Every structure is written in structure tokens, then in C-alpha cells.
Structure 1
Amino acid sequence: MRWAIVGAGAMGSTFGGYLALAGHRVVLVDVREDHVRAVRERGLELRRPGGEDVVVELDATTDPPRDVDAVDVALFLCKGWATVDAARSIAHALGPESWAVTVQNGLGNDRRLAEVLGVSRVVPGTTTVGAMSEAAGVVAAAPGTVEGRSLTQLGPPRGSSAVPDAVHAIAAALTAAGLPAEALDSADVVIWTKVAMAASMGCLTAVLRRTVADVVDDPTAWELWTDVFEEVVAVARASGVELDADALLAHCRETYAAVGHHTTSMAADVVAGRRTEVDSLALEVARRGREVGVPTPVTDTVGRLIAALEGSYERAL
């Protein structure tokens, strides 16, 4: 298959590296000139703790209209707020049989892609693939990813009555490349499950500028987390997505205990003064809560606090 990885940060580059090693034609698309330049000049250095580190030869560009021709799959891993512009930049490379797959964080990314590319070719999904950027042109896959314990889950395009054969083929290609994947009748439960974890812990660690363990260990912070979690579950249920709150809570506790003093990506963005994905997480949950008549006072407040931080980085004390 011919793949464009749209948003080649740590996770996107890891997907691209594994696919290229499996023999697929891959081009990384990203706005970071230093990363793209390093990949073009030296290849992508893919570090795999506990496994074999490799240098992967593949294409990379900051200018897809110029450098990317026809692709079979555009896999989107860019920030949610960049989705529309990213889709426009790659639209020329998607033919009638091409697919746009999103495993981005948050809600609404498939809708944004559909606005540009059409709903029938957009595949919603989520992933637990993990990675860290170590330098321009260098990424390290998380141990769980190296060990084959990550999972990418893909659903059918909105409005489809069945999962297209092509979606099964995409999942099979990822699995064969060492990134386990499966096609589901609907991706809504897995997407909302991830949102319940990210919109709660990610947003709180960003507001508080604390690690995951800091939030878990502080009674007041944990009470806030619980409020957000319960609001997300309520909005999901009112939207027709039945989450098992008890099982999900147990999964959250287990996951947070395992990661310990981990800095979430949203907290890292706030500390670095970068734009966050709050529009796709807490603020989108609050917006959908208003649509379905579910109050989300804590989630909305946390989301607006992050938005206020974004608008005043340069004035920080």
C-alpha cells in the first residue's frame, strides 16, 4: 500500500517506520522542518527498547501538494485543531479508492475530515501505540508497542451499514507490520473510552501542571478527575454510546498506576506554551453535553481554563 502519515510526530513517525519496514511505500507529512530534513537526509531512526534499533529509509515533506502523489491511505495523527488544513493539503493525493483514517485524540476529527474529503472515505478509530520524540529524525517506540501490546481499532465510515473490505485490509496491513489492529462494527465506544481518559486526566494535568501520579495521589485533584470522568460518561450515554463506567474506572486506575509520574501530552503542551487539543477534548465534550441536555460544569470549566492559558502564555508570571 501507499501511505501518507499526516502528522509525523512521535506516533506518526512510529507508524510510518513500522509500515516502511514492512515494505509499504510511506511518506511522512509534517510542519516541522528540522524533523523532515533529518529524515530526508539520514533516514528515520526508530529506537525500539528491548528490540532492535533501526534506521528506516522513507520520504518526508512539509509540502504535500508538491511532494505527495497518489496514496491509498492517508493516516491522520496531527493535532485536532490542524485537521482541516491537513486534510486540504493532502486531498489531491486521494483518489476514488483512497481512504482517510483518523486515530487522533479527541472527538470530531472524522467529522472535520469529512468536511474536506467526504464522509464515505473517512475511517474513524483510535490507537494505543505509544512513542516519544528524542531528537529531529529520532523517535523511540514505547515498550508496549515494541512488544506488540498496542492496539489500533478502526470503524466503518459514518452511515455505512457494514465495515468495508478495505478497512479490514488496512487493519491487516498494520497488524502484519507489527502494529496490531482490528476492524470494529463501530468505533464510537473505543473513541469515547479514550476521551474519558484523556479529557479527564490530560486536561487536569495541564491545568495543574502536574503528573498523572500527582493527580491520583491528591484527594482534591482526584475528586475533580472523578467529576470530569462522570460527566464524560454521562454525555457519551446520552449520545447513544453505552460505556461501562465501572469497568472503565477500573481500567483508568490500572493505567494511571502503571504510568506513574508521567507528563501527559497536554500538560507538556501547556508547559511549553503550545496550542493544546482542548477543543477536541474537554470543550468538545461540554459542547456535546449542551446538545444532548447533559450538564458538564466541571469539564467546561477545566476546558475554558486551558483555553485561557493558551491565550495568555506570553503574560505568565
Structure 2
Amino acid sequence: MTIRDICIYGAGALGGAFAAKIANGLGEDATVSVVARGAHLAAIREKGLTIVTPGHEAPLDVQVAATGDPRELPAQDLVITGLKGHQLADAAEGLARLLKPSTRVINILNGIPWWYFHRDQTSGHAERQLPELDPQGKLWSLVGPQRVIGCVAYQGAEVIEPGTVQLNGEGRFHLGEPSGEMSADLAAISELLGRADITILPTDRIRDAIWTKLMGNAAYNPISALTRALMDNMMENRAVAAQVAKVMGETKAVGEALGAVFKEDVDAQINRAGGFGPVRTSMLQDLLAGKALEIIPLTGMVVTLGKLTGVPTPTCETVLALTTQLDRENLRK
């Protein structure tokens, strides 16, 4: 696989960090462009991307080509999406304009991805589509699940001002083919991103990584939005922490019913949360910014897939109902 032209579609927090690191790390070996919007796009065009990382003496400042219209860009060898799961379907036509026959697409996503059941060999639901995440099937038909390489991110990031992204550490990213193959494309992309100082962990069980991350995301994100609490304050409240544990347990049960294998139990996840500090989850960031919340790919899909597998999810259903109403009221302002 030859990777020369790389586009980051949705260069917000994580997308912006990927764009800056790839452009900085590969230099003239790659042409990096971004699709962004609003004040963030204007700032990138004017002064480039700035990445601030704790422990680094100086920020990383990088110039990249930026546009709000993917039609202005040529077809790409690699497309990396930084959009959230509830935003991707609306971008399907734009993404399709960037594709050539060999283009691979990395979706950096929290929660269940739209392609989840493509070539899935463990659930008994192979090739089942998820209209909750891809309402008109445009991602499936225009982008195609066969192009996708799944990505699970462990990297806190926030746009602290237009054009500037702050990371909470170095982070790590699990990459995997939906089929589970350790393909030549997966190896080539992992090597390329590694050269850009991005820690990549290739895996033949990407769905295990998806569910392990979702245990936390399905709980922490909506409950932090409902309470407006930072992670440390939320987990110091025993009553709230107990609800977090219930959501995690239900999420784990649904994942196991679909064939996922978990290396950690709920107690291990809860104990690790004690070291998170005063972190604002991505959903709390979106709530405070007046943006639509990433509900469906997280808690919403736990409920949907719980019904598919016959696994009860009563706490998730309650959290989903409350967060959905919160989202409506927040957007009504």
C-alpha cells in the first residue's frame, strides 16, 4: 500500500492532533490536508494547528492545507475521520468524494461503529446494518465497510481555542481490520503512524477493544453530562459511582453476548478511574459548548444491542432517556 495523500476529515480535537503529528512526522513524505469548519477552520488557515501536550516544553506548530469542502481536495490514499459517531452519516457523501479504489478509511470513534457487524465472525449477525448510526445506509453504500480500519482511542483531547488542541498525555490507539486479519494495509498504516510519533497497537480483535472502551464511555460520558461533574468529583460520590458500575456491568454483559472478550472486570475499570483527575469528558465538553451529544453510539447502542441479544439494560435505558432529554433541552436554547 502506497500512502502519500492523507486527509483528516473532521480535524477537531483528536483529528487535529493526528493531522499535526502526521504532517510534522512525515514531512515531505506525505501531503496532509484537513476538512474542518467554522472558527477552527479559519484559525488553521491563518496560523496552522497548534498541539499542546503536558510535559513538552514547547507546543507543536504545524501548517496544513485546510478546507471546509472536500470537493476541493484530490482523491486520497488514506482518510482518517475525527467526527463522532452521530456526525459521520451526514459526512458520507463528502467522504465518498475523497476515495479511490484502494483508499482505506480509519474511523476514530467512541462506542459502537456503523460497520460493527461487517465480517464479524463471533456474534451470528454478520453484515447486519445499524440504521441508528447510518440512517439511510449512506456510509455502508458510499464509503463501504470493506474500506474501514477500526480505531479505538485512549487519548484525552480538547480544542481550547480555535486552531489549538490540548492533549492530556501521549495516548495510544488500537487499530484493527473488521475481519480480524493482520493485513498488509494494517501493517503499513501502523508503521506510517508510528513514524509520526503516534502509539499504535494493531490487533486482530478490534471488537474486544471497542467494548472495553465502551464500558467506560457508556457510563462516564452521559453521567458526567447529566451531573456536569468532572471525572474525579463524579467518582468521589459513592451513589454516582454505583450507577456508573451498573452501566458498566450491563455494557459488559451485552458485549459478551456478542462474543467480545474482556480482560478487565467492572471493579478494575472503577479502580482505574480514581487516577483520572479533574477531566471533562467529551460529552460534557459538547454539552457546555451547546453541541449535539454523542448519545446513540454510546449508551444508545448498548440498549439497542441489549434488545438484539436479550440482555436486560435497565440502568442504561434510564441514563439514555435522561441524556436524550438533556440533549433536546440544551439544543433548544
Fold shared, TM-score > 0.5 on shorter chain = yes
| Alignment partner, residue 265 of structure 1 | 282
Describe how 1:97-246 pairs up with structure 2 within 5 A: 97-111=102-116, 112=134, 113-142=139-168, 144-145=169-170, 150-156=171-177, 158=178, 160=179, 162-246=181-265
Report the Cα distance in structure 1 between the residues aligned to 2:157 and 2:329, rounded to whole angstroms: 29
Unaligned runs of 5+ residues in structure 2 are 117-133
Q: Is residue 6–residue 78 contact of structure 1 (8 Å, CA) maintained in 2?
A: yes
Q: Tell me how far 1:238 sits from its aligned partner.
A: 0.5
Q: Is residue 168–residue 182 contact of structure 1 (8 Å, CA) maintained in 2?
A: no
Report the Cα distance in structure 1 between the residues aligned to 2:156 and 2:235, rounded to whole angstroms: 21
May I ask how many residue pairs the two structures share in their alignment? 305
Q: What letter is aligned with 2:194?
A: T
Aligned to 2:44, which of 14, 35, 39?
39
- Calculate the aligned-residue CA RMSD, in Å: 1.8
Report the Cα distance in structure 1 between the residues aligned to 2:6 and 2:282, rounded to whole angstroms: 25
> Which string of whole-angstrom CA distances, capped at 9 and with x for unpartnered residues, describes residues 24-81 of structure 1?
3111112x3211111112111222332232321111111112x211111111110211
Unaligned runs of 5+ residues in structure 1 are none
Could you say if the C-alpha distance between residues 101 and 314 of structure 1 is closer, same or farther in structure 2, counting changes exceeding 3 Å? closer
Describe how 1:78-93 pairs up with structure 2 within 5 A: 78-93=83-98
Q: Is residue 245–residue 270 contact of structure 2 (8 Å, CA) maintained in 1?
A: no
Q: Is residue 102–residue 110 contact of structure 1 (8 Å, CA) maintained in 2?
A: no
Q: What letter is aligned with 2:260?
A: V
Q: Is residue 193–residue 243 contact of structure 1 (8 Å, CA) maintained in 2?
A: yes
179-188 or 306-315, larger mean C-alpha shift: 306-315
Could you say if the C-alpha distance between residues 176 and 249 of structure 1 is closer, same or farther in structure 2, counting changes exceeding 3 Å? farther
Q: What letter is aligned with 1:304?
A: A
Report the Cα distance in structure 2 between the residues aligned to 1:164 and 1:215, rounded to whole angstroms: 41
Could you say if the C-alpha distance between residues 95 and 314 of structure 1 is closer, same or farther in structure 2, counting changes exceeding 3 Å? closer
Task: Spell out structure 1 runs of 4+ moving beyond 4 A.
Answer: none
